[in-house]
Every structure is written in C-alpha cells, then in structure tokens.
Structure 1
Amino acid sequence: MTARIDHLVTSGTFALDGGEWDVDNNVWIIGDDTEAVVVDAAHDAAAIEAALDGRTLRAIICTHAHNDHIDAAPALADATGAPILLHPDDLPLWRQTHPDRTPDAELADGQELEVAGVRLTVLHTPGHAPGAVCLHAPRLNTVFTGDTLFQGGPGATGRSFSDFPTIVDSIRDRLLSLPPDTVVRTGHGDSTTVGAEAPHLQEWITRGH
C-alpha cells in the first residue's frame, strides 16, 4: 500500500511564561491504510483518533514539548496504546504540562523511525525549544519541522527555553542542507519548501551572529 500524509488542524491554547494564546495546530499523520504515526498530538485526541480511521498507531512523535503540541498526547496514547516519543532535552517543558506522565521513549539525533515503508530520520534542531526535532522523510520529499521553520522564517525564540542564534544554526546546518524542493510541513500555518525559505534565512543568519 502507498504511504501518504494526512493533515488535521486542531485548535486550542498555547501557554508559556504566564501568557496564553489561541492557536491552530497542524497534526500530521504519516502511514498507509493499516498503520500510521502521528506528529504532534495537539489539543483534540478524539479528532486525531477519528482521523486514524482504525489504523494501528505505531507512535506519537513530539517535535517539541510546548503544551499546544503535546496536550492531547497522553489521551491519544491511552486510547491507542501507542508510545509517546520525545527528545529528552525537552523533558522540563513536558513536565510543565504533564507532571504525572512521562514519555515512553526518547528521540535522538540521527534515529530512524519507519512506518508503512517510509523512513523518518530525526534531526535535532534546538532553538525554539532545547529538544526540538524535525523529521525528514526523503521518500515523501518532506520534512516535518514543528515550530523550527515556518513559511517566512524561524520559529519564535522570545520565551523561556529558546534561543535565536541556536535556531538559526539548526536551520542552516540541518534544514538548508536538504534538497531545495523538499516540502516543509510546519507546526502551524501553511507549508513551504526549503528552497523558498533559504534566501530569507540567509538574512537572519547574518543578523543573528
């Protein structure tokens, strides 16, 4: 069966450093008709489970541990039996949202996950959060960037646990090296491509050092 990417938008609240903002999150489901993984279980476990449509969920992959990307992860894990995967550097953020539930396994730079014949390579891309990761799927010509890279530039770095020079280094070293036609599927908003973002990012790289 042919692997595909399904896209769901869920809505909720992002909370950090005492502030709250209404947000729409992209939830990405990669798989075929029998199995799948979810990238960022945001806000609505029931809606994500419905979108799985009976497929076996192999893993819930967290690009980082801001609450709006992980708030539905435990409920989805409980409903499906799938493990939650998170880079350990984001455990302090995770505990702000889920103090009584830890992730089931760690993500590591260079780790390869496979579902429906598609290999996802974990790229550790700190900056927006210490344990932020992107997932590169060459066969699907896609990289899932969470909040590291958006259409229009890097993710926000003005709050706790974030750092602008670090995110610029991550994007330059880990993402701009991907083929220019690689589709960038983001944590919020519209998709873009590596090639479309590269010229703007060079400006930010210069400004950030």
Structure 2
Amino acid sequence: MAARIERLVTSGQFTLDGGTWDVDNNVWLVGDDHEVVVIDAAHDADAILAAVGDRRLGGIVCTHAHNDHVNAAPALAERTGAVIWLHPDDLPLWRLTHPDRDPDAWLADGQVIEAAGADLTVLHTPGHAPGAVCLYDAGLGAVFTGDTLFQGGPGATGRSFSHFPTIIESIRDRLLTLPPGTKVLTGHGDPTTVGAETPHLDEWVIRGH
C-alpha cells in the first residue's frame, strides 16, 4: 500500500523572547494503514494519538524546536514508544520547552527516514532556527517545510536564533531547486508549490532588508 499524507490542525500558543501568540499548527502524518510518522507534534497529544489510531507510530520528526512544534512530542513519545528526532543545532531551543528531556535521535542532512513506503530525505535549512529541516519525498511529490517556507514567503526571522540571509540561502539552494510541481506542506496555513513561490524570491530579499 502506497504511503499517503494526512493533515491535522492543532491550536495553542507560540512563546519566545518574552512574547506569546495564539497559533494554529499543521501536524503532518505520513504512512499507510499500518504505520505512520508524525511531523511536528504540536499542542495536543490526544488529538494526534486519535489521528494515528491503531497504527504503529514509527517516529516523531521535528522540523525545528520552537515550542509550538514540539510541545506535545514527549507526551506522544511516552504513550507510543516512538523516537523523537531533531537536528542537534536546535537543542538550545528544545531545552527552552523541555529542559529535562532531550530528543532521542539526531537528524542529519541527507538522512532518509522511511515510513510505510515513504522516504523522507532530511534537508538542513537553517534560518528560521539553526537546526530547521525540511523533509522531501520525491515519490509523494511533497516537501514538508515547517516554518522555513510558506505560501507567500519565508518564515519569520525577527526573533532569537533566527537569521534572514541564512533562510533566504536555504530556500534558494535547497527548496527552490526541487521540481516546480512539488507540494510545499507548511507548518502553518495552506500548502503551496515550489513553482508558485520561486518567482518571488527577489521580492522577499528586497522586503527583508
């Protein structure tokens, strides 16, 4: 059975640098009827568990460690036995939310995470956060971009641990080089495609300076 993509939206708060904002997050599930991987365990472990159902949870992959993307990860791991994956460059951010529980395994650029017929290739795309990653599957024709690339532009770089020139470089070199029809499945909001976003790169650079 071919892998499929499912989307769950959860709601909560994003907190950093002394500010707090209400947010809706996309939680992505990739797998089939028997096994699934969760990308970004946000806010609500119960809702994510319900979406997983009776399938085996093969892993919890964090695109980055802002609290709104990882706050439900330990509870989900505890209840399923799944491994939490994070890029090591985001450990300082992770510890702001989970000081007493580190991730279980480290993501590396080029690594492939297999899930029920899906092959998620890790692309290290720093800028929004030092350890931000995207997950690309050519077979699914999709890239999961977390908060690196959205419909209409790059993720925010106005807070700690972020850097605008770096996120532009990541998007230009790692994401806009993917096939134009690739679906961009984001950490918040609606999906887009690589082809829809590519023509706007120069606008983002001008806007960001």
Q: What is the TM-score when the length of structure 1 is the normalising length?
A: 0.98
DSSP-derived class of the 2:91 partner: helix
Q: Which residue of 1 aligns with 2:116?
A: 116
2: distance between equivalents of 1:61 and 1:92?
Answer: 17
Q: Which residue of 2 aligns with 1:68?
A: 68
Q: Which residue of 2 aligns with 1:104?
A: 104
- Aligned residue identity for 1:173: D
Q: Which residue of 2 aligns with 1:80?
A: 80
- Aligned residue identity for 1:140: L
Q: Which residue of 2 aligns with 1:149?
A: 149
The reply to whether residue 46 of structure 1 matches residue 49 of structure 2 is no
Distance verdict in 2 for CA 1:158–1:208, change over 3 Å = closer
Number of residue equivalences: 209
Pairing 1:129-148 to 2, within 5 Å after superposition:
129-148=129-148
- Aligned residue identity for 1:155: G
List gaps (5 residues or longer) in structure 1.
Answer: none
Which stretches of structure 1, 4 residues or more, deviate above 3 A after TM superposition? 205-209
Q: Which residue of 2 aligns with 1:179?
A: 179
1:203 shift after superposition: 2.4
Q: Which residue of 1 aligns with 2:34?
A: 34
DSSP-derived class of the 1:50 partner: helix
List gaps (5 residues or longer) in structure 2.
Answer: none
- Aligned residue identity for 2:19: G
Q: Which residue of 2 aligns with 1:16?
A: 16
Cα-to-partner distance string for 1:87-131 (whole Å, 9 max, x where unaligned): 000000000000000000000000011111111000000000000
- Aligned residue identity for 2:120: L
- Aligned residue identity for 2:137: A
Q: Is the 8 A contact 1:168 1:208 kept in 2?
A: no
Q: Is the 8 A contact 1:136 1:144 kept in 2?
A: yes
Q: What is the TM-score when the length of structure 2 is the normalising length?
A: 0.98
Cα-to-partner distance string for 1:146-187 (whole Å, 9 max, x where unaligned): 000000000000000000000000000000000000000000
1:202 shift after superposition: 2.8
Q: Which residue of 2 aligns with 1:188?
A: 188
